[in-house]
Structure 1
Amino acid sequence: MKDISTILVTGATGNIGRALVEILQTTPSSLSTIAASPSGQSVAGAPGRPLNLLNTASTRAAMQGIERLFLLTPAHPEMEAMTANAVRAAQAAGVQHIVRVSGAGADPKSEIAIARLQGSCDQIVIDSGIAYTLLRPKNFMQNFTTFLRDMIRSGAVYSSQGEGRVPFIDARDIAAVAAQVLRDPQAHASQVYTLTGPQALTNAEALAVIAEHIGRPIQLVSISEEQAVEGMRQAGMPEPLVQAMSSLNRIIAAGWVAEVTDDVPRLLGRPATAWADFVAEHRHVWQ
């Protein structure tokens, strides 16, 4: 009888994690999936385990019996500590492969705050001695259904990203790539994949598609980066995250994020989700 490999999916209640668990639950019985989240709830029929990445005991308990780890650390001032805790627990538990969601352009030596933060976390995984695969997506289509949702509903979106283009990616495509890697990790060992959608759009172009589908106009209001920073601070965002998000705004505005890659269609054997298709599916969110 074939041994069963157990996968722990962290962030299992989020956009990527939930979609990943759902995909893995359709995988043949040679794989077993456990959904890890702060609440420890079951997801898509997969048993749940509680996980607090800032708590050593919680992290070690969650890793017991795990062979493959999907590691998603949330945007948090202590992201590096979370990653380090997870990696140490994975080492102690004998985890054989880590698939980490990072960010495009990640580099621990970067002058860009968000790239430096993600790169430092990647380096912790690389230095662990555990086989790894790094997934580096660009901005998510789901940002329009979450962070920007209320502004879109109000008819005005404020942005400091200017005319910068972004090849927005559906989080479900990231999950599909992660599932592909987790099913056959040896084939993807030491690989780094930059994940994008099929087309780079400005915010104005993206919002125009939404406006067409919901039947009312959406105004894009340009603001300065200083105004964007002040808005994030007023919203209570911790300063390290303010600096990280501000650096992202600046590189998008500078046109540094516009490149489209073929990693998603190459790995999945199908095109990445198109923006118009995503909007059509989610139009009810903005009604």
Structure 2
Amino acid sequence: MTILVTGSIGKISSRVASQLQSLSLPILVATRRSPSSIPFPAVTFDWVDKSTYEAPFKHDISAVFIVPPEIQEPAPYVNAFIDVAIAHGVKKYVLNAGTSAAKDGPFVGPVWSYLDTLATSKNIEFAVLRPTWFNENFSELQHQQTIKESSVFYSAAEDGKMPFIGADDIAAAGVAFLAGQKPYENKDHVLLGPQLLTHDEVAKVFSEALGREIRHERKDMQGMVKQYESVGLNALYANFLPYLEVTASQGSQEELFVAGLDETEKLLGRKGINFKDWVQREKSKGYWG
């Protein structure tokens, strides 16, 4: 039985695939790229091209890790694919979302709601991962370039505290379900790091680790849209991330942490990696000069 991992070799999908392989579990990565360019067994797949939906099921698929496409309304495509998967007997699904996701809310909300309905009508099992802000925002995403080139990063988060979490830990939570280590429970699972930090405190962690001053400079939401466009984020995320930063400045992520909603330790059997330890681990890899 093979586990299908959508999202190609994105930051979470690649880690899920790698961790599943390390457990000697058969995987298949769904990708728009040439399958031969993927360092895992792969199949050609495109969320917005329904003619590709049958291809993964030439394999005996037992579970699906769902990373929705980066479009405004992914649900019509994702839900249609879930229907195809169910027709091929697939009963287990892990949806990668975020702390801002809400059932029946925008973006992935209708996918979550559909899975909830199918749990009753089709007897499927599902888990929705709801991780907070990634450590890897600073190494693989929006802040890496400016830290490396100018020793600065920008945000609209002001003094908002965030429990940053590592992508390896997010992937491990997904693997806990896909590998059968944890029951799905047909619900969402909030994933937070073990420590609250402001962006100013993050800058201090980087300064100490890298031996040079790293600055956090504040911008308003519109300024951050322009900033993220300048470093190559697509329009969806260039507009959405600044909005989420503003909500974080108002305490959205701190509230989750203080309320004790984190399930990382429950799923992994350990706490997630501390941000300072993560920077120390990653600093020799050339991300930040």
Taking a change above 3 Å as real, the CA distance of residues 42 and 175 of structure 1, as seen in their structure-2 partners, is farther
The one-letter amino acid of 2:93's match is I
Rounded Cα–Cα distance in structure 2 between residues aligned with 1:234 and 1:47: 34
Rounded Cα–Cα distance in structure 1 between residues aligned with 2:114 and 2:240: 19
Taking a change above 3 Å as real, the CA distance of residues 76 and 41 of structure 1, as seen in their structure-2 partners, is farther
Rounded Cα–Cα distance in structure 1 between residues aligned with 2:225 and 2:112: 26
Query: For residues 101-159 of structure 1, what are the alpha-carbon distances to aligned partners after superposition, in whole Å with 9 as ceiling and x for unaligned?
Result: 1111422455xxxxx32322322332334321111111111110122111112112121
Rounded Cα–Cα distance in structure 1 between residues aligned with 2:232 and 2:269: 42
Query: Please, what is the CA RMSD of the aligned residues?
Result: 2.3
After TM superposition, the score normalised by the length of structure 2 is 0.86
How big is the shift at 1:186? 7.5
How big is the shift at 1:239? 5.2
2:26 aligned with 1:36: no
Query: For residues 181-203 of structure 1, what are the alpha-carbon distances to aligned partners after superposition, in whole Å with 9 as ceiling and x for unaligned?
Result: 11217722313210011011111
Rounded Cα–Cα distance in structure 1 between residues aligned with 2:37 and 2:176: 22
Rounded Cα–Cα distance in structure 1 between residues aligned with 2:282 and 2:207: 12
Residue number among 162, 166, 177 corresponding to 2:173 in the alignment: 177
User: Which is further off, 78-87 or 218-227?
Assistant: 78-87
User: Which is further off, 160-169 or 254-263?
Assistant: 254-263
How big is the shift at 1:74? 4.0
Counterpart in the other structure of 1:113: none
Give 5+ residue unaligned stretches, structure 2: none
Counterpart in the other structure of 1:214: 210
After TM superposition, the score normalised by the length of structure 1 is 0.87
> Do the aligned partners of 1:99 and 1:134 also contact (CA within 8 Å) in 2?
yes
Counterpart in the other structure of 2:145: 150
The one-letter amino acid of 2:30's match is A
Identity %: 26
Aligned to 1:81, the other structure's residue is in SS state helix
Rounded Cα–Cα distance in structure 2 between residues aligned with 1:236 and 1:85: 30
Counterpart in the other structure of 2:52: 58
Counterpart in the other structure of 2:199: 203
Rounded Cα–Cα distance in structure 1 between residues aligned with 2:251 and 2:146: 24
Residue number among 147, 153, 158 corresponding to 1:162 in the alignment: 158
The one-letter amino acid of 1:79's match is P
How big is the shift at 1:235? 6.5
Taking a change above 3 Å as real, the CA distance of residues 215 and 233 of structure 1, as seen in their structure-2 partners, is closer
Counterpart in the other structure of 1:10: 6
Where do 1:78-97 residues align within 5 Å? 78-97=73-92
Counterpart in the other structure of 2:287: 285
2:249 aligned with 1:247: no
Residue number among 62, 68, 73 corresponding to 1:67 in the alignment: 62
Rounded Cα–Cα distance in structure 2 between residues aligned with 1:12 and 1:179: 16
Aligned to 1:176, the other structure's residue is in SS state helix
User: Which is further off, 188-197 or 80-89?
Assistant: 80-89
Rounded Cα–Cα distance in structure 2 between residues aligned with 1:240 and 1:232: 11
Rounded Cα–Cα distance in structure 2 between residues aligned with 1:236 and 1:212: 28
> Do the aligned partners of 1:76 and 1:241 also contact (CA within 8 Å) in 2?
no
Aligned to 2:136, the other structure's residue is in SS state helix
Number of aligned residue pairs: give it. 275
